[in-house]
């Protein structure tokens, strides 16, 4: 459809050198071709032209002092992409790879992910090129306070509600919320992922990883399969990976890998979850330390990975859970997974699969859960935290986990029935993109040209 091609070319011209954003936009726009052909109202209202442009882009400087008294300067970002369904909602990422293109791709994905949850939340994303690794607690506190001294004026419980992402956990949320409270003179749910001591929700920490596994469970059930007793590979060793591993164990699966930016652990007996949590959540050390405690495990440094591949996906498995970062799984990795008998890929990270690898999974008709559907459990539980804050109540872990499981089931059903509606019942990329877009687009039409 020439119309979609024209919009994509417009993006390249007006948002130069934002390759991750182009990739995310291309995936969505190509999926929308059958919808646009069937329902001309979306063309008439120029929804695509409007939805690919953020409602607001905030770029600011962050000045802070390190422990040596030296001034450091970083960039801060907040992309408030779409508020048709509710206040902007999306995490903050602190990582040296952060730039405008990365934040825009994340914010764009967030629009449709949030829509799929069925909850009243719009799409946004933010962060900084600040690297928290190797920084002292005081340096992280000073950076977070400096970052919030600008961002506080743009967020609020009914405006924009950030959360955590890569490099932003409970510690960073605490420092930022404290500064927000001081500057805004408000104690409100302007953040999610907060400590349980002051407004956080039980099961929020676990939600993204748990939700990714729930999504895999529902995909497999539709094919008469189960995760019980199956070998699974997981990439990453952060929050998403850790709680993906935890839920896999709860469902009887055997997770045998995890990784960080330096290398991969392969533990044939199954990843020692308690040890992994201690290394990454308490001691905050590199994953290579794992083999000091489990000498039978194998550690492969990243420089020893087979050329052009991620070693995680060279391990034979039944299901794979990419839970590290964008574009970590390429076409060669996808071929390796399929050759080893992998029949399920459920994405815990945002856009971890390259476009070519995604197309191969779709063509192979395996159970493939794209990130905007499979990892939506985190943001869904963030909205549950917002609901608890607004009502000033607290739900039990079991209540939140049950709500999460139902939300993930609803996302799967919505994505699969939409895919079937457009003639591709196994293509959940198509189904998720159309289902999420249609909900947001209909709201935009009903709210007028704003």
Which residues carry out catalysis?
125
Q: What share of the chain is helix, strand, coil (3-state, %, to 5)?
A: 50, 15, 35
Euclidean distance between the first and final Cα of the chain, in Å?
A: 27
**47: helix, coil or strand?**
helix
Which DSSP letter does residue 341 get? T
Tokens linked to 92 = 């903050």
Are residues 84 and 78 in contact, defined by beta-carbon separation less than 8 angstroms? Answer: no
The alpha carbon of 9 is separated from its chain's Cα centroid by a whole number of angstroms, namely: 26
Phi/psi of residue 124, nearest 5 degrees: -160, 170
Question: Cβ(89)–Cβ(114) under 8 Å?
Answer: yes
* Integer Cα distance of 215 and 244 in angstroms: 11
Residue whose pair of structure tokens reads 């920490």 in the numeric block? 205
Token pair for 127 = 């962060």
Cα(35)–Cα(418) distance, integer angstroms: 10
Counting Cβ atoms within 10 Å, is residue 60 exposed (0-12), middle (13-18) or buried (19+)? middle
Rounded Cα distance, 27 and 430, in Å: 9
Using alpha carbons only, give the angle 266, 270, 276 rounded to the nearest 5 degrees: 75
Contact 148, 183 (CB under 8 A): yes
Strands 263-266 and 257-260: antiparallel
CA distance 265 to 198: 36
Helices 100-116, 397-421: axis angle to 10 degrees equals 90
Q: Three-state DSSP class for 395?
A: coil
CA distance 226 to 251: 9
């Amino acid at each position: 459809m020439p119309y979609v091609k024209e919009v994509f070319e417009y993006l390249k011209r007006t948002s130069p050198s934002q390759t991750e954003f182009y990739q995310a936009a291309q995936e969505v726009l190509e999926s929308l071709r059958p919808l646009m052909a069937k329902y001309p109202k979306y063309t008439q209202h120029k929804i695509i032209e409007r939805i690919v442009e953020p409602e607001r882009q905030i770029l600011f400087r962050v000045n802070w002092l390190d422990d040596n008294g030296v001034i450091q300067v970083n960039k801060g970002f907040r992309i408030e992409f779409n508020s048709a369904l509710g206040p902007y909602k999306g995490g903050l990422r602190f990582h040296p790879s952060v730039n405008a293109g990365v934040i825009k791709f994340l914010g764009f994905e967030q629009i449709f992910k949030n829509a799929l949850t069925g909850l009243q939340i719009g799409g946004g994303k933010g962060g900084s090129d600040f690297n928290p690794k190797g920084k002292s607690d005081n340096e992280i506190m000073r950076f977070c306070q400096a970052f919030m001294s600008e961002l506080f004026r743009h967020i609020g419980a009914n405006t924009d509600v950030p959360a955590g992402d890569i490099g932003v956990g409970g510690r960073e949320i605490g420092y930022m919320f404290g500064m927000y409270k001081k500057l805004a003179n408000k104690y409100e749910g302007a953040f999610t992922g907060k400590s349980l001591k002051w407004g956080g929700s039980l099961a929020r920490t676990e939600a993204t990883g748990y939700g990714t596994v729930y999504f895999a469970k529902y995909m497999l059930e539709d094919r008469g399969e189960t995760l019980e007793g199956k070998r699974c590979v997981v990439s990453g060793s952060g929050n998403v990976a850790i709680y993906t591993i935890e839920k896999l164990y709860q469902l009887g699966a055997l997770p045998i890998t995890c990784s960080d930016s330096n290398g991969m652990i392969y533990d044939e007996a199954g990843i020692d979850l308690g040890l992994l949590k201690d290394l990454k959540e308490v001691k905050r050390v590199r994953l290579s330390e794992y083999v000091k405690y489990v000498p039978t495990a194998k550690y492969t440094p990243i420089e020893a990975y087979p050329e052009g591949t991620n070693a995680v996906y060279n391990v034979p498995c039944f299901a794979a859970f990419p839970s590290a970062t964008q574009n970590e799984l390429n076409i060669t990795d996808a071929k390796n997974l399929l050759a080893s008998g992998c029949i399920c890929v459920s994405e815990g990270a945002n856009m971890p699969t390259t476009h070519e690898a995604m197309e191969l999974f779709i063509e192979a008709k395996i159970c493939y859960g794209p990130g905007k559907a499979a990892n939506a459990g985190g943001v869904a539980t963030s909205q549950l935290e917002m609901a608890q804050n607004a009502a000033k109540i607290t739900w039990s872990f079991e209540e939140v986990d049950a709500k999460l499981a139902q939300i993930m089931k609803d996302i799967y059903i919505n994505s699969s029935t939409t895919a079937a509606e457009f003639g591709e019942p196994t293509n959940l990329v198509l189904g998720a993109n159309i289902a999420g877009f249609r909900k947001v687009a209909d709201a935009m039409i009903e709210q007028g040209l704003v």
